[in-house]
Structure 1
């Protein structure tokens, strides 16, 4: 039985090849996505969506965001950011645990490193 192996994917089937520059720029055009990706990139394990909502709402993980701001950020993550990030293979989302993990897309890493201010416009 023959099997097909795609060299641009790892064992889990996640994409790790270069994304088009326009796609990378679109991913990093949002301040919230830059914050999410920068945090996920340095995390040593998958991060709960609730923690990412706190990060998006306040810019850090201090717990200072109001419940309304966290709800709004969580909705934004689920409705806007996760669909884009998962479709491009930039993150993996575990819906059973509600966690997100950076998959290491080299084009995004390279561009994210060049972004000097994650909190910028």
Structure 2
């Protein structure tokens, strides 16, 4: 079934079964994991994973015609809620006031063994 009012931007990973960004009426939705610029996963400490995840988010939004200051909502998935403070420290380097609406959710596991953070964002197109 065609969805002419929704635009899906494919993920750069040919094996991915997820779009990188979806757009509907100027609202962008994207989910990002700790992916380095070369496409490999960052599975080191939580700070490194958070930095890679938020940089991947920034890059995806900019490719789609938006930016971090256009994010209206962020859902943060953490495999250990004790990592929330580390995430917040990195988050404050990528975002500024007015802060996006956000939720932090503790989960038992993520898609890859050793992955500790994932984010889903909604942003307005610039």
TM-score, structure 2 as length reference: 0.29
Identify the structure with the greater helix proportion: 1
Larger radius of gyration: 1
TM-score, structure 1 as length reference: 0.30
Identify the structure with the greater strand proportion: 2
